Amino acid sequence: MNFPAFEPAHLRALRAAATQAPLRPRVPLWAGESVIGSVEPDFLRQITLEPLFDGRKQLSKEERNGQTGWHLQGEITQGLNRVAAALHAVGLAGAWRDEQLAVCDPHGRRLGTVERAAVRPLGIVTQAVHLVGQAPDGRFWVQQRAFDKPNDPGLWDTLMGGMISSADTLDSALARETWEEAGLHLTELADLHYGGRLHICRPARDGNGAGYVSEYIDWYCCTVPEGIVPVNQDGEVECFALMDGQELLRQMQQDQFTLEAALIQAALLDVRSGTSSAT
C-alpha cells in the first residue's frame, strides 16, 4: 500500500507547536537537592499551607547558585499532595483525577508521587503511552475523544493514548490503557512493536494559564485482526473509526487530531512512505 507523506511545512508547524517556550519566565521547584518541576515566580504565593510539625514552612522561596526558586520541605509525596490540594481549593489545578503520577529527578530517579491535577501547574515531567492500530488492509483505527474530556474534547486520537500512573510500568500502562480505552487485550493484537518516543513541551491552560507541559510519549504499533472491533470501556471515547492514509492525512492537516497523535502518525506515515521526516 502507498502511504501519503506529510507536507514539510505542516510537519514543521506540528513540531513547532510541540516545542514551545513558556509564555512567561519560570523558576525551579526543588525537593531536597533535586529539581522536580518549574513554576512562574509568584505562582505559589497564591496558596497557603500549614507549617510542618517542626515549624518549618512547607514551601519557601530561596536562592541556589545565583538562581531563585521554590523549595519543597519535608517528605516529597505528602508535601506535593498538600500543594495539589491547596491549588485545587483556589481553582489553580487541572481536572482532579484521584490519580497519582510519578515525580522524578532530572536523571529519571523516582522521588515520590503527586495528584495528576497538579503536574501542569508545577511543571512536573510526565510519561504517556500511545498505540497506533491498523486493520489488515492498512487502514488505521482511530478514536474520537469524548466531548466532555478536559483536554482536546472531540478531536481524533490514536487507537489508544494515556498517561502512565505511578502504579504502572510502561508495559502495564500499555496493557491497561488498551483495555480501558479500546476493550482490547494485547494478546489479541498482531505484530505489536515499539515505534518511538516523542517529547512534548509547551504552555498549558492549567493554573489559569500558568501551567507547562513536559511529557515523554512512548508509542507502539500493532495490527488489529479482522473481525476484532475496539469498544471503549471507560467512557472517555466518543467513537472509533477506520481511516485510510489519505483521509488520516486530510484530517490531520485540518487540525482534527490531537497534536500528539498527529506527530505520531506523521512519523509512522513518513516511515511507511519512505520519506525522511527531517525534510
Q: Where in the chain is the domain with CATH 3.90.79.10?
A: 8-20+126-273
Helix H or strand E segment including 180? helix 170-182
Cell of 200: 512534548
- Determine the pLDDT at residue 2: 53
- Determine the pLDDT at residue 274: 54
- Determine the pLDDT at residue 4: 61
Cell of 64: 541556589
pLDDT tens per residue across span 74-90: 999 999 999 999 999 99
pLDDT tens per residue across span 133-152: 999 999 999 999 999 998 89
- Determine the pLDDT at residue 277: 44
- Cβ–Cβ contacts within 10 Å for residue 270, how many? 19
The CA distance from 70 to 62, in Å, is 6
Instruction: Report CA 103 to chain centroid distance, whole Å.
Output: 14
Q: Which residues of the chain have pLDDT under 70?
A: 1-7, 270-279
Cell of 257: 487530531
The CA distance from 146 to 216, in Å, is 23
Under a CB-based contact definition with an 8 Å cutoff, are residues 223 and 193 in contact?
Answer: no
Indicate the CATH number for domain 8-20+126-273: 3.90.79.10
- Determine the pLDDT at residue 271: 58
- Determine the pLDDT at residue 8: 76
